[in-house]
Structure 1
Amino acid sequence: MHVLVVLIFCLEIMQNQSFVTEFVLLGLSQNPNVQKIIFVIFLVVYLATVSGNLLIVVTILSSPALLGSPMYFFLAFLSFLDVCISSVIAPKMIFDLLHEKKTISFASCLTQVFVGHVFVGTEMIVLSAMVYDRYVSICKPLHYSYIMNSRLCCILIGVAWMVGILHSIVQIAFISQLPFCGPNVIDHFTCDLFPLLKLACTDTYVVGLLVVTNSGFLCILIFSMLLVSYGVILFSLRSHCSEGQKKALSTCGSHVDVVVMLFVPCAVFCPHA
């Protein structure tokens, strides 16, 4: 409830000092034939993403043995977040590919930015919780059941939500004082902070630095924690037999893949946004 109040308050501030009521999204292409091809591709990818992740969630929730495992508990929540992140952007983008006029209201644009950052920030913390789960499982196997109990898992999920929400509130607060008086054309397929900063009717250099600092601090902090955790895990594996090392590394391999796919694009594209 408090989060909604803050979001509504920021939206009212921005709308009161802005003449823009809606934004025009240029999308990925202006060619109608190309748009049809992109529509099919993204629709298939979106449906596959949603159905695949929902299948994981349903499978884990329907199996008490899997749901009782912290690793699968976090996996189900991570799959749920992937569905949410995809659904924030993809449906609107896919819908616009079939229409000549691609507009989004001022309030919807800011809401899309806010919700998207909430889910992404939350996902980063969940990934950290998952590597902590692997650390306890590999380095302290005899105490695993005692440490990774259901109460701790729920606390970690709660912390993930709070960090994601706080991160998003700070981002919205940075741009809540910016006036938008035209133009209103966003050279992007979705609303995001940097495309919006380019449309503000004032100097946004300082605000841009604050936005990058907020996102960069979160990414660097989480990524550093992950590196340290995996460093400790690899160091502890020296005392394991070769079979135990292979088993431990196999359980971490998929998590490493997800971390790389999330943080590498952030590191590459954020500085150039």
Structure 2
Amino acid sequence: MKKYAVFLLLLLGLVACNKGQKAALNDGQEDLKAKKMLQGIWLDDESDEILFKVQGDTIYYPDAENASVYFKIKKDTFYTYGNEVMRYKIDKQAEHLFWFHSLSDNIVKLHKSEDPSDSLRIMGRRSTEVIPTYTEVTKRDSVVMYEGKRYRAYVYVNPSKIKVVKTSYTDDGMSIDNVYYDNVMHICVYEGKKMIYGHDITKDMFSDVIKEDFLKNAILADMRFYGVSKVGFRYQATVGIPESSVCNLVNLVVSFDGKLSIKIAQ
């Protein structure tokens, strides 16, 4: 009898445990009905400006430099999965109404567009790519003399398709990811027809002198040749956060035997 009672208690415990696990799984499931209601173009109640367009499981913003983001709705929370995972508490949601709390705890009030031209407006504004700092390869050629020898130092600025995502916030406190394009710098030094050094320079080469968190959000904005001395040929790179004055300057020296050294500018 005791054995039966113990077995029954174990069985009830397993059932309760399984129910708990299922509840935990259900707790994390998406609200597909809420997701379906969110499909369409949403406008700010006060300004009537387009805030975003929802299509499938993706949010598209009206400005080309704003990256689209994946989203989910779980219970009463709106999640966006961009450069960072953001959570917004939903205040009200209906077929043509969506209110949620921003990161600054303001209530953002939106209504769904019923104007077909809004679709053309948002996609038309997204048709152009973000213009990088340099739109084409830029070449700089410097001729220098040192101890009776003539040298040529080159810088080639090459715009790339390497995307850098910078997170910013709207006045309402909503997270927006802005997309910029990094540059690849090619530097080379010649003595006559003999190449002393030639190599592509990317921002990742500065990981020993610039913190990873800064590099992640920065672009290699510029490269300049600053002359020659007994230590070699001196270049300086600008690694900066897009649309800000925050930057790091990095000194590069190419020695006469073709070796590169990198130090942060003091």
Shorter-chain TM range is: under 0.3
- Structure holding more strand per residue: 2
- Structure holding more helix per residue: 1
TM-score by length of 2: 0.24
Larger Rg: 2
- Larger RCO: 1 or 2 (CA < 8 Å, sep 6+): 1
TM-score by length of 1: 0.23
